[in-house]
Chain A
Amino acid sequence: MDAFQGLMSGFQVAFSIEGILFVFIGVFVGTFIGMMPGLGPISAIAIMIPITYSMDPTVALVMMAGVYYGAIFGGSSSSILLNAPGVAGTVATAFDGYPMAQQGKAGKALAIAAIASFTGGTVSVILLMLFTPILSAVAVSFGPAEYFALMFMGLTAISSLSDGSTIKAFISATLGFIVVTIGIDSQTGTSRFTFGNPNLLEGIDFLVIALGLFALAEVSTLVLNRKDNSMSDNKEIGSLRLSKQDVKEMSGPMTRQSFLGFLIGVLPGAGATIASFIAYITEKKLAKNPEEFGKGSIKGLAAPETANNAATGGAFVPLLSLGIPGSGTTAVLLGAFLVLGVQPGPLLIQDRPEVFWGIIASMYIGNIFLLILNLPLIPYIARVLRIPRPLLISLVIIFSLIGVYAISFNTFDLYMLVAFGIIGFLMRMFSFPAAPFILAFILGGMMEQAFRQTLTISNGSLAIFLDKPIALTLIIVSLLTILVPMFTGRKKLSAKNDTGKPL
């Protein structure tokens, strides 16, 4: 297949007036929805489907794809400014983005996020264009055993997500594990910890927890410290300018995470959220000064922002080349494809090249639009911080409530949100980090499921992990990352003892 010719025909669609207009509408709506805490691309796309019914399929799909990656792009703003993740994929963005904004560098943080998002998005489109047919094999290479190993690797990072006590990080993670077991157990169909309440049967939505533990907990702290002027002075947006030093610091994580994020995005079920966490963790491990992470590190902001956008591109590989949706949003997108009479799958490139290449070409343009749309708007978006504090606090609460209600249109979720807000606040008061809770919640559910699926397949034998090369490698790497620091740490300690007084 002549990919170049295909891409050219794709650009023809994407560069038509209609194409450009609808890419713009898509990314604009996406950015906007992404910025609103809780409102996600899933409902936006589902609502758009009937509207696009009579449109040209390529144009309609280009627009809906734009909503998808636009939302991940825009989601960083509320994470950075308000500590309220706009979409699930931008939770990790808040870890360093919010401290930066608190230090009066909101403009810079938003600029870094925009550039990192743009880089991740663009690199992933290039990879998508070049390797989709090859990568479709990667997408199906992961079975339950491999997923378990991947999640296991993610979990080795729990202790690194804490800047204080490791024990507290583990306690927080344990809470995350406990909460994720609530609901119907997928492997037996039994309900666990639901106490007969049907509202709990499907478990607790990730955004309820993220908004509770981050946004509401933050708001409570602000209310408590309202007399403390040192905090309210930080209304400075700061310069957007990035120094050479900043760019140098960003470039490493951006390059690495563009590729890693893309690869994780390719795996069905992993997606932007997991990619951003793994990016954050790997960069912290690689960094020379990991203690800066969580306190406004440029690397810690650039890494998840690159990875989540790269993962969105990656998610199109299984969707377009196999017809396998890797996440809730891509599942809805798959539905949109079907309504418009386009069947994604192994035959899409042959049967409907204009759709396949049109979407890819439009993503180049979409990413450029997003950058143009976001960079000049930064001073205006950042002005959110100048809103008088009492008003801002009320707004964050309102948006969190609306966002959560929009997930299920169920008032029960609002009580859960408040409950997690209180838990988050208490965790803060006693300095338990919230990040390990979130990480355990995201990875724990998939990990348990994958583990039990694996054991059902193997009739209960753990030896199955030894038979799978990918799984085995991942597990060995994870064990090394746990064990090696323990030994080197001991050496350092004994080295210190040598120089100090004899024991």
Chain B
Amino acid sequence: MKKFLATAAAFTMLIAAGCSNQSSGDGNATGENGEWKPTKPIEITAPAGPGGGWDTTARMASQVFEQEKIIDKRLPVVNKAGGGGAIGWAYIAGKKDSEHNMFVASPPLLLVPLNGQSEYGYEDFTPLANVIADYGAFVVKAEAKWNNLNDLFEDMKKDPASVSVIGTSSPGSMDHMQFVKIAKAAGVDVTKIKYISDPDAGGLTAVLNGSVDVYTTGVAETIEQVKAGKIKVLGITSEERLEGEVLSDFQTAKEQGIDETFVNWRGFFGPPGMDPAAVKYYEEKFKELSDSPAWDEIRKKYGWGELYMDSEEYSEFLKTEAEDMQNLLEELGLSR
């Protein structure tokens, strides 16, 4: 009951805050010394429906910002689903110059526009900060004949079509690209890889029952099945070994002599043309979030890795990532 009252009270305050703002104009509160502070609730957009990775990240960030009082305004999460993110991006692009809007993004922000399915790409938005890194894992059934990536890629070099690979997302998007990126570095003819997509998350099932050979997915998703001895992880895409039970046993592609990595980064972006003072404010707040014990706990629960980048580092990082992806997609004939 108490909780309910608190929520009700917060809600009332939110409405009050919204009203008071309307009277004082569109609160651009850049102070005399160039400092900026939010003057009304900050809307976080998840460009997907409730429950997915973007939505979860947005809701968790909003929760930590509010509960740890890192930001003393409310941060409601709004879902704008559709077009693999394109609908949400178009929505944010329409909020040009707003300092009270942001959205959560990950590699699809680079890949979807490159696939020709969104008119807006990462260059159109203001990177605020990156907070999370996830890595890819390549999984086979426990009884499979391959024990490491080199075994697998040896077979694929001889006949790429003898091995089938399954992932959740469609060709040209994340699950596919992380595999292609590593396989290419190992010398496999990536244009001939047999990739199957199963948007209903049937990848793990297909590997367990032997319909498909390799499952390309996120690291966290594999832990339970590895513990139960049902699957083995041939390699992961991080730079160095990860920390944690089971996780630390996974060999990276790098230590197997394949000099390539793939980061599933996740961070926050503002609308086009956001005030640099506001960018600075958010950068600092996200740093605080990233360093907080509450966020650490959430990271552990979901198996997310830490990767903080400020706005400038983030822009540089995105630029090289986008170039890499562009080249790979062109080679695969998927670039549009």
Chain B binds chain A = yes
Interface residues of A (CB under 8 A from B): 42-43, 45-47, 49-51, 53, 139-145, 147, 184-189, 191, 198-199, 201-202, 268-269, 318, 322-325, 328, 331-332, 335, 338-339, 341, 343-347, 407-410, 412, 446, 449, 453, 456-457, 459
- Could you say which of B55-63, B182-190, B316-324 contacts chain A? B55-63
Residue of B nearest to A44 (CB): B50
When the two chains form their complex, are residues A189 and B87 in contact, meaning their CB atoms are under 8 A apart?
A: no
A400 to B221, CA, bound (A): 36
Contact of A199 among B63, B87, B208 (CB under 8 A): B87
- Could you say which of B11-19, B27-35, B166-174 contacts chain A? B166-174
What are the residues of chain B within 8 A of A139 when measuring CB–CB? 205
- Binary interface profile of B, 170-205, with partner A (CB < 8 Å = 1, else 0)? 111100000000000000000000101111111011
When the two chains form their complex, are residues B200 and A268 in contact, meaning their CB atoms are under 8 A apart?
A: yes
When the two chains form their complex, are residues B205 and A186 in contact, meaning their CB atoms are under 8 A apart?
A: no
Interface residues of B (CB under 8 A from A): 3, 49-51, 55-56, 59-60, 63, 78-84, 86-87, 90, 115, 117-119, 161, 164, 166, 170-173, 194, 196-202, 204-206, 208-212, 223-225, 227-228, 230, 298, 301-302, 334
A204 to B144, CA, bound (A): 39
When the two chains form their complex, are residues A42 and B49 in contact, meaning their CB atoms are under 8 A apart?
A: yes
A49 to B83, CA, bound (A): 25
What are the residues of chain A within 8 A of B225 when measuring CB–CB? 322-323, 345-346
When the two chains form their complex, are residues A201 and B200 in contact, meaning their CB atoms are under 8 A apart?
A: no
When the two chains form their complex, are residues A201 and B63 in contact, meaning their CB atoms are under 8 A apart?
A: no
Given contacts A198-B90, A457-B212, A46 and B50 within 8 Å (CB-CB): yes
When the two chains form their complex, are residues A347 and B50 in contact, meaning their CB atoms are under 8 A apart?
A: no
When the two chains form their complex, are residues A188 and B230 in contact, meaning their CB atoms are under 8 A apart?
A: no
A50 to B77, CA, bound (A): 12
Given contacts A201-B84, A202-B83, A50 and B230 within 8 Å (CB-CB): no
Given contacts A325-B201, A409-B79, A186 and B117 within 8 Å (CB-CB): no
Q: How far is the CB of A455 from chain B (nearest CB, A)?
A: 10
What are the residues of chain A within 8 A of B81 when measuring CB–CB? 202, 407-410
When the two chains form their complex, are residues B205 and A184 in contact, meaning their CB atoms are under 8 A apart?
A: no
Contact of A346 among B170, B201, B210, B230 (CB under 8 A): B230
Which of the listed residues B83, B87, B199, B205 has the most CB atoms from chain A within 10 Å of its own CB? B205
When the two chains form their complex, are residues B227 and A347 in contact, meaning their CB atoms are under 8 A apart?
A: yes
When the two chains form their complex, are residues B205 and A324 in contact, meaning their CB atoms are under 8 A apart?
A: yes
Given contacts A45-B51, A46-B50, A328-B51, A186 and B197 within 8 Å (CB-CB): yes
Residue of A nearest to B197 (CB): A186
When the two chains form their complex, are residues B82 and A457 in contact, meaning their CB atoms are under 8 A apart?
A: no
When the two chains form their complex, are residues A185 and B301 in contact, meaning their CB atoms are under 8 A apart?
A: no
Q: How far is the CB of A314 from chain B (nearest CB, A)?
A: 15
What are the residues of chain B within 8 A of A145 when measuring CB–CB? 211
What are the residues of chain A within 8 A of B164 when measuring CB–CB? 456-457
What are the residues of chain A within 8 A of B211 when measuring CB–CB? 143-145, 457
What are the residues of chain A within 8 A of B172 when measuring CB–CB? 189
